[in-house]
A and B are shown apart, each in its own frame.
Chain A
Amino acid sequence: MNECILVVDDDPEIVGAIAITLEREGYRVLRAYNGMEALDLCLDPAVRLILIDVMMPRLDGLSALIRIREKRNLPIIVLSAKSEDTDKILGLSMGADDYITKPYNPQELAARVRSQLRRYTSLGDIHAACRGHLIVNGRLTYDPDSLLLRADGEPVRLTPTETKIVDLLMRNPGRIFPAEEIYRRVWSEDAYSCENTVMVHIRRIREKIELNPKEPDYIKVVWGIGYKMEQHG
């Protein structure tokens, strides 16, 4: 498919490493080393996605992001060494579609690029068409009728128990379920020491739907309370 990705970082080695990773995935890579270059190169219509560092000379990543947004509608992933929650929130609110902290895991990076591209290219119309029927949450779409969960448009293969858990969580995004309640509603029996059982299943689901199961974006533990499906835009 040879989609073109613009990688912007003032560190050439990082740009190089990302380029290699992405080229192995089959993407074409444009390289920029500061914000101004990024502004020039993003005008190339072939560019489908931008990976941009925050702290750069001449023009920093967030300023560049705002100015790119004025010209083009395409997924932008911010890549930053700043790992604080506040930094992430700032980046996402400035218009970034995703936020990856350095040092990143190359595979996760590739997965996030892939995910963003899918939503941008092939799922754009699904969004619009099936809004009433499907439950859409970020990368995930769930069809309550057919009990089918898709991640980035790809169907996810779930066991019946996992499906029940996903059904419960997808129907109630943002609500926190104690393990006991999940157990009672999924297994239909009273629960004692169910934490491990529930956690095992949740971990399996995560491995199927999360880009980085160790730092899940969707099914999260609310420590000391329960579990919830994070609501994404």
Chain B
Amino acid sequence: MDTKWNSMDKDPSEALEQFVADQVREAAESVDSGVHVISVDNGSEGARRVRAVIAFLAFVLGVSLVLGSLGAAAGRLLAQRDGTEWWKDDWQETEAFREEVSSYLREFLTLGAGGTLSWYDTEVVQEYGYDATLWSAVSYEDFAVSGTSVPASEIPLDDPDHQYENDKNVLYRIINFDTLTKYSNAGDASLAVYHELPEGYNFLLTFQDGKVSIVKDDTALDVYGGGIYDEDSPWFVPGYDNFPAGEGVENVSVYMAVREMPVRYYTGDYQNGGYYQSSRMYYITQSIQEARAFYFRQTALLGAGLLCLALWFVLRREKKLADRRIASWTVHVWTEVRFLAVAAALVCLLLPSAGAPLDEVWWEIRYAGLYSDMLPYIGRALLAHLENTGPLLALVWVLWLIRNDHRHNPKAKRRSLWRMVSVHLPKYTFQKRANRRNRAAVLLACVLPAAGLLLTVSMNISPVHWLFYVLVVIPAAAAVLIWLALRKNAALARDIGLLSDQVEAIRSGDLSTPLDLPEDADLRQTAEALNDIQAGLHRALEEQTHSERMKVELVSNVSHDLKTPLTSILSYAELLRQEELTGAAADYARIIDEKAQRLKSMVQDVFDISKAAASQLPVQLERLDLAKLLRQTLADMDDPIRASQLAFKLDLPETPVMIVADGRRLYRVFQNLIQNALQYALEGSRVYLTLRTGAGKAEASVRNTSRDELPEGVDFTARFVRGDTSRTDGGSGLGLSIASSFTEACGGEFRAETVADLFTAIVTFPLAE
């Protein structure tokens, strides 16, 4: 229950959080756009651009500086390349100094022992073994500034410490009480007491009786600690319980003073073909200074970067203009180029140094492969690559450009070489198939020249062979290819011709003969599809014809079935009327007779109209005079016209208007139209019957004013439609429908128009020549 509560409680709160976040973001965006608008109102376009450029530059500079400085510093730190304990105030407290001191001591002890010592512990000998080869030397205080050259002949061969005699940073006095040998470069200074050290020296190491004691800055240091040497021991000098001084130095005393601020000097040994850098102490301080300068520089750069970022943060909305502008440039860059740029930046970043020669890369790879235990080294090395700030920044900015492009440009607008090429790749099945068949030819066309080229280059063939190749093989192959292509094209052209002929045939109504292409034709499948379409069309048409016939048959049967009882009704109604009926009964009989008569005409009308709708109305087309037909119809209907209250206004040409139609059907059309006018025209109004010719057409119209208001938007040619919907008048509602379908059966056009209460029926026929 509890957990349920929790989960139920949690989801809404998360949703709420999400909602709030969305709201805030939306609000920010709307504010953003608001600011955008205001800035358009306030500043000119130019000012906005300047601000955008400033914001963008600040962003770029800021990110570059911050990343560059942090990267360089982190690379140097993380790679642990920097052994310099640059953070220590006193260089004499660094590990490097202590090692240097112990190194000096070892060498002095060697001197003191006469160079043949075996005083050191066997366990450390392998690690710290050295050869006390001594050098004849020339010394310079600072090789660039001054120096003394000592002729080689004057160098005493029995002067083993000549290397150290000129040491400007270390003073020493080595005394062997057994042999009474003594080496020193300290001159008068005894170096026995700290207070008597010459000016500028603040460190005194004394080796006496197998033990080392150190005084630094007038303070004695605890050299041995617990007396047992281990890795954490600060001084690697003999005198520990497990690291005794050993034989030969029992009676050797070494006094060694180190300068507080070491200087640079140089000892040359030109006769032996070289020189010896011996200002080792100086380089310790030098590297500390260098490291400090480096980190100071990076800090300054970081500060500057942060300042730039702050400026960008203030102007960050302005930067969008620049982003969009840049996106509008980068959109043209192919996707492939982007990938290449990222890859190039990555490669440069991971190479030992930007632009390193390839063989260095090769060595790196070989070492990495050969020594699997170098993996930690590789990891460190990778981190060290952060120092390659150039490639690092390049990678960052390439990625930023891509992201900026993706943010501002829709996917569809991006370009790629592949997309440009793929547009031309075949998309359709037929195309693909055709291409597949061409593949061998294409391959051959590629292989032949390539083979020729290879042959020429690799085998260094004779000009005769080459000529043979050029003049015989290539033309022969080309001829074969062309012949293949032509043969294929001819077959394809034939198939396309057959196919288009078939399409044309189907359009003009041939639904029975299918197209049969050879099995292997490219268009075989298409032809089969076309055949299916043809067959389907044929079937549909047959079904439609069949159902139309069924419909007409049905209506025909129904009307026949209606006629039989109607015959009885009419017969007996007639008989009834002949009876001497009294009063109302006579009226009833009359009504029955009238309605039965109307039913009879309706049945006939329905029958006719269904036949006409199914295009099964038999028509006998002949040339006839439409004007005459109209006059005849009017004459035929003279009686009802006279009986009506309507005035017929005729506008019929005297000259014959010849058309091709079925006269009996057309008589029915106009009879119905006039009947319609007689039935529905306003009493006392005029009916206009006009016949006009023009543009190869004869147009007869019957126009009358309706007695009742005409409803709008009614298709009067539809069946059972009348001006009023009550159906109480005498019409069947089929008059106009019959007129319409009969006109069309005769090849004319029928339309009914209403404007307010004006009803117009128009019959149009093409004129016969």
Contact with B along A198-224 (1 / 0, CB 8 A): 111000000000000000000001111
Contact with A along B577-607 (1 / 0, CB 8 A): 0100000000000000000100010001001
CA A83 to CA B607, docked complex, whole Å: 10
Give me the interface of B with A, judged by CB distance under 8 Å: 560, 563-564, 566-572, 574-575, 578, 596, 600, 604, 607, 618, 622, 624-626, 628-629, 631-636, 638, 661, 663-664, 666-667
Q: From residue B596, how far is it (CB to closest CB) to chain A in Å? A: 8
Residues of B within 8 A of A104 (CB): 567, 570-571
Q: From residue B678, how far is it (CB to closest CB) to chain A in Å? A: 17
A196 within 8 A of B: yes
Residues of B within 8 A of A86 (CB): 618
Q: A13-B568, A81-B560, A223-B667 are in contact. Are A178 and B575 (CB under 8 A)?
A: no
CB <8 Å contact, A195 and B563: no
Q: From residue B629, how far is it (CB to closest CB) to chain A in Å? A: 4
Contact of B629 among A196, A200, A224 (CB under 8 A): A224
Residues of B within 8 A of A200 (CB): 635, 638
CB <8 Å contact, A224 and B560: no
* Closest 7 pairs between A and B when the two form their complex, measured CB to CB: A224-B624, A223-B663, A17-B571, A199-B635, A224-B629, A81-B563, A195-B631
CB <8 Å contact, B632 and A224: yes
CB <8 Å contact, B572 and A195: no
CA A197 to CA B578, docked complex, whole Å: 36
CB <8 Å contact, B604 and A83: yes
A44 within 8 A of B: no
Find residues 26-51 in chain A having any chain B CB closer than 8 Å to their own CB: none
Chain A: number of interface residues, binned into ranges: 20 to 34
CB <8 Å contact, B600 and A103: yes
Find residues 106-128 in chain A having any chain B CB closer than 8 Å to their own CB: 106-107
CA A179 to CA B527, docked complex, whole Å: 62
A20 within 8 A of B: yes
CB <8 Å contact, B568 and A17: yes
13 of the cross-chain contacts (CB-CB < 8 Å) are A11-B564, A13-B568, A13-B572, A18-B571, A103-B570, A107-B574, A178-B628, A195-B634, A195-B635, A196-B634, A196-B635, A224-B624, A224-B666
A82 within 8 A of B: yes
CA A225 to CA B629, docked complex, whole Å: 7
A163 within 8 A of B: no
Residues of A within 8 A of B628 (CB): 178-179, 195, 224-226
Residue of A nearest to B566 (CB): A103
Residues of B within 8 A of A185 (CB): none
CB <8 Å contact, A225 and B625: yes
Residue of B nearest to A223 (CB): B663
CA A193 to CA B634, docked complex, whole Å: 12
Residues of B within 8 A of A103 (CB): 563, 566-567, 569-571, 596, 600
CB <8 Å contact, B563 and A85: no
Residue of A nearest to B662 (CB): A223
CA A21 to CA B576, docked complex, whole Å: 11
A14 within 8 A of B: yes
Most buried by B among A178, A195, A200: A195
CB <8 Å contact, A14 and B638: no
Contact of B560 among A13, A21, A82, A106 (CB under 8 A): A82
CB <8 Å contact, B636 and A199: yes
CB <8 Å contact, B663 and A222: yes
CB <8 Å contact, A223 and B570: no
Q: A21-B575, A85-B618 are in contact. Are A223 and B635 (CB under 8 A)?
A: no
Q: From residue B671, how far is it (CB to closest CB) to chain A in Å? A: 10
Q: From residue A78, how far is it (CB to closest CB) to chain B in Å? A: 14
Residues of A within 8 A of B626 (CB): 224
Find residues 42-76 in chain A having any chain B CB closer than 8 Å to their own CB: 55
